[in-house]
Amino acid sequence: MALKESLDKFKKQQEMCQTTLSSIKASSKSTPRVTPYNTPANAKSPAPAVKFSSDTERLQHINSIRKAPVGAQIKRVINLLLETRQAFTAEQINEACYVDVKANKAVFDSLSNNLKVYYDGRRFSYKSKHDLKDKGQLLKLIRKFPEGIAVIDLKDAYPSVMDDLQALKAAGEIWLLSNFDSQEDIAYPNDPRVPIKVDDDLKQLFRGIELPRDMIDIEKDLQKNGMKPATNTAKRRAQAQVHGISNKPKQKKKKHEISKRTKLTNSHLPELFKNLS
């Protein structure tokens, strides 16, 4: 409220100044200009009037930020902490992104209790899920999760963590695979102390197994071996029949070709009909 009152007062003052300047300009046109006897002929003209438009826009921008919902203000502060990775006091946050944490109790309480924010009683800083600093700590953490760890839980650990993941993958230290259910990347450790060697006979035996042609038969074989198929072809086909959807592939429409018997409506463009059959 104090900011709005100051802004309204500032606008009224600006309007009064503009009115005064207009009246002065009008009177100067009707009254002949008289040079005082003690004024030098080469005296400098008075400085032009100061424009306040830029400052008005800044105040309006600050006012719109502080009137925004609490969630929007929290997001603005968290983005600041994430990008800088520095600790800020409430006053420094106000100067950096115009969110008045000190004056807004709802913003202060929400920010100090946020899972992504660490508050030590004076300063706010970003808190990632895993406290990592470099590639060595990243590899040590991944090796603690032989079943895999989600990349989304690692990507905000420190600014260059994604580059380090790719470097570890290129060096053969880890595997980056996509999870079939969530379509998210999972990081798996590739411990060089446990090398796996597969005999050529076993490779040939694996490649020589002929899979069933029908997907339903493949799903049945998986179930017989105690595995749950990721698909349900029988259910999908039954739903398709209920809705009248055919499982047969659609035939492609024959492409219409131009021949000598085709009626030409663009005869004024002869270059289009060079390859008539």
Distance of CA 164 to the CA centre of its chain: 20
In a domain, 256, yes or no: no
Judgement on whether residues 87 and 62 belong to the same structural domain of the protein: yes
Judgement on whether residues 68 and 119 belong to the same structural domain of the protein: yes
Q: Is the pLDDT of residue 20 over 70?
A: no
List phi, psi (to 5°) of 145. -120, 80
In the chain, the number of structural domains is 3
Report DSSP letters for 165-200, one per residue. Answer: HHHHHHTTSEEEEE-TTT--EEEEE--TTS-----H
pLDDT one-digit tens code per residue, 148-173:
999 999 999 999 999 999 999 999 99
Number of helices (H), then strands (E), in the chain: 10, 5
- Of 154, 123, 159, give the one whose Cα is nearest residue 138: 154
Domain that holds residue 95: 2-17+53-126
Domain endpoint, select from 75, 91, 126: 126
Report DSSP letters for 109-170, one per residue. Answer: HHHHT-TTEEE-SS-EEE--SS---SHHHHHHHHTT-TT-EEGGGTTTSSTTHHHHHHHHHH
User: Who wins on pLDDT, 10 or 254?
Assistant: 10
Judgement on whether residues 237 and 204 belong to the same structural domain of the protein: yes
Domain endpoint, select from 126, 159, 181: 126
In a domain, 118, yes or no: yes
Q: Is the pLDDT of residue 50 over 60?
A: no
Judgement on whether residues 81 and 121 belong to the same structural domain of the protein: yes
Judgement on whether residues 9 and 117 belong to the same structural domain of the protein: yes
Q: Is the pLDDT of residue 178 over 90?
A: no
In a domain, 34, yes or no: no
Q: Is the pLDDT of residue 264 over 70?
A: no
In degrees, rounded to 5, the angle at the alpha carbon of residue 176 between the alpha carbons of residues 174 and 179 is 135
Judgement on whether residues 11 and 88 belong to the same structural domain of the protein: yes
Judgement on whether residues 90 and 204 belong to the same structural domain of the protein: no
| Span 238-243, average pLDDT | 81
Look at the pTM and tell me if it is higher than 0.85. Answer: no
Judged by average pLDDT, the poorest of 12-16, 30-34, 250-254 is 30-34
Say how many CA atoms lie within 13 Å of 40 toward its Cβ: 4
Judged by average pLDDT, the poorest of 37-46, 91-100, 168-177, 263-272 is 37-46
Q: Is the pLDDT of residue 270 over 50?
A: yes
> Are 240 and 247 spatial neighbours (Cβ–Cβ below 8 Å)?
yes
110 pLDDT tier (thresholds 50, 70, 90): very high
CATH at 141: 1.10.10
